[in-house]
Amino acid sequence: MACTTILVGRGASYDGSTIIARNEDDEPGSFNNKKLIIVRPEDQPRTYTSVNGHLTIELPDNPLQYSETPNSFTSAGVWGEAGINEANVAMTATETITSNARVLGADPLVPYTPAIGKPGDANYVPAVAGGIGEEDLVTIVLPYIHTAREGVERLGSLLEEYGTYESNGIGFADSHEVWWIETVGGHHWIARRVPDDCYVVNPNRLGIDEFDFEDAFGEQRDYMCSADLREFMRMHHLDVDYALEGQFDPRDAFGSHSDMDHVYNTPRAWMIERYFNPLDETWEGPDADLTPSSDDIPWCRQPDHKITIEDIDYALAMHYQGTKFDPYGKLGTEATRHLYRPAGINRTCERSIMQIRPYAPQADRAIHWITFAATPFNATVPFFANVDAMPDYVSNTTPEVTLDSYYWASRFLAVLGDSDYSGTAEPIAHYKQTVAALGHQMVFATDEQLARLGGKDTRAAAAREREDEEESLPADVEPMKPADVVKATRNEKTREVLAAANENMAKQLKAQTQTILAQCLQATSVNMKDAFSMADF
């Protein structure tokens, strides 16, 4: 998939949450129909066979429940993409990334190899299963982890055992940490913890640009990697830096620096970091510090202001507004307006923003914000993840096109907005803000309701601004061992409250979406090219 990822450490977010988000973008000309569902433990397979890799894996017998955004029609695989499990661990998988010939030659990818001939033939060669890939990862990792760090460890071990047929980046978050893992060839990998006060932008290229081997093979506070990575690099001469002893840039060694990067990948990093850090660099002009084609745009950095859900929504919907590269703008020329690949693109299937809130009780701290279809035109809406089922409006994406589905309604709205951008931009902006406001209102009201139900005021706890004594970061108001977290999130009364809140949110979302569709249909109808009236004589 061709996607864009943003990761936010708890010290860089507006409320102390960890946040991981990604646009799931399909291939050109393709649109996977998506839904937001809950996978119960009894529905999780114990023996998993992939469609693309033809690989069969035996899975543990103790899965956790989790949310996910799979394809609605699973003939090509599950493609779970993003979710939060009932241990309050979020996962986004995957960001397709790039590599280079040296790495892929040293550790080749592991594609499925079809059989040659038929059994019994003299020249028969049996099929060989491929490795794991994007289709599989949420299904085989998320139900079995209790922390973000465990996510890296489980996925790393699976990569070493089975290999992969594609290069990918994967994000994990719990209430304390955000981790990012990138594959290196077919079986190797590196991972870095996002610094608490930083955010990450990762657009379809290997991103990590700093790595500490001493930590990775020691305390593993901020870095992890496959066990033989140093020997692998030494054997295949993969370190190309003149760096000082102990410093290493994985992007230089394992990544790409192609012409395609400079129109497809680096411009998105430039655009989004320019938005989050307008004061730190000269972004345009002959004296620019960084340009759309810069290869050294930082993987992570501290933002100029703390990042909100709305900031992420805007950043992942960006199409170079205010520059000559905006396809809907009036600056520049027709050539410049279509020079670079935007983050907000027509072929987005879904966009998940997953928020783990340390100031909320374990039972309701996990929120899965969902957007379907092209993000410049569609709203992001919150749903509590620890429920038994998601509302029908977001979970029942049928083969039949219907406005009773948020997915299909979003596809319609995107087409209307794109066809008459100037005529629909204002009402769509109002719609997006209205839905976001209703979402925040729903979350706040539900927190209050659960505080009363539980007999304690969690809002008062949040107002006390408890901090981690060592790092001056928001502290966990309800610290628990992983097993106790799962017990708390399985509380039946709490789940009933969260489910009712989700249903009410879906009802309001549907009403707002029907209204904006009617408004945009009217606007685009008035501005149709075959319009004519007597006043035109």
Quickly list H helices, 255-391.
261-264, 266-276, 309-315
Cis peptide before 5 (omega within 30 of 0): no
Whether the CB-CB separation of 58 and 46 falls below 8 Å is answered with yes
| Tokens standing for residue 306 | 């703390």
CA-closest candidate to residue 453, choices 402, 418, 492, 506: 492
| Tokens standing for residue 39 | 């996978």
Residue 361: left if φ>0, alpha if ψ -120 to 50, beta else—which one? beta
Task: Count Cα neighbours of 110 within 13 Å in the Cβ-side half-sphere.
Answer: 23
| Tokens standing for residue 501 | 């809140």
CA-closest candidate to residue 4, choices 252, 254, 257, 273: 273
Tell me, yes or no, if 520 is annotated catalytic: no
Pairing of strands 366-372, 348-356: antiparallel
Whether the CB-CB separation of 193 and 223 falls below 8 Å is answered with yes
Cis peptide before 94 (omega within 30 of 0): yes
| Tokens standing for residue 368 | 């899965």
Quickly list H helices, 60-131.
101-106
Concatenating the DSSP letter of every residue in 316-347 gives: TT---TTSTT-TT-SSS-TTGGGSS--SS-TT
Whether the CB-CB separation of 392 and 481 falls below 8 Å is answered with no
Of 3, 225, 300, 520, the catalytic one is 3
Residue with tokens 């038929």, as numbered in its chain: 118
Whether the CB-CB separation of 79 and 53 falls below 8 Å is answered with no
Rounded Cα gap, residues 364 and 140, in angstroms: 24
From start to end of 79-167, where are the E strands? 82-84, 90-96
Residue with tokens 């979020």, as numbered in its chain: 90
90 forms beta bridges with 84, 173
Eight-class DSSP state of 400: S
Whether the CB-CB separation of 107 and 238 falls below 8 Å is answered with no
> What torsion do the CA atoms of 217, 223, 227, 228 make, to the nearest 10 degrees?
-90
Rounded Cα gap, residues 359 and 176, in angstroms: 11
CA angle (480 as vertex; 178, 136 as ends), nearest 5: 45
Catalytic residues: 3
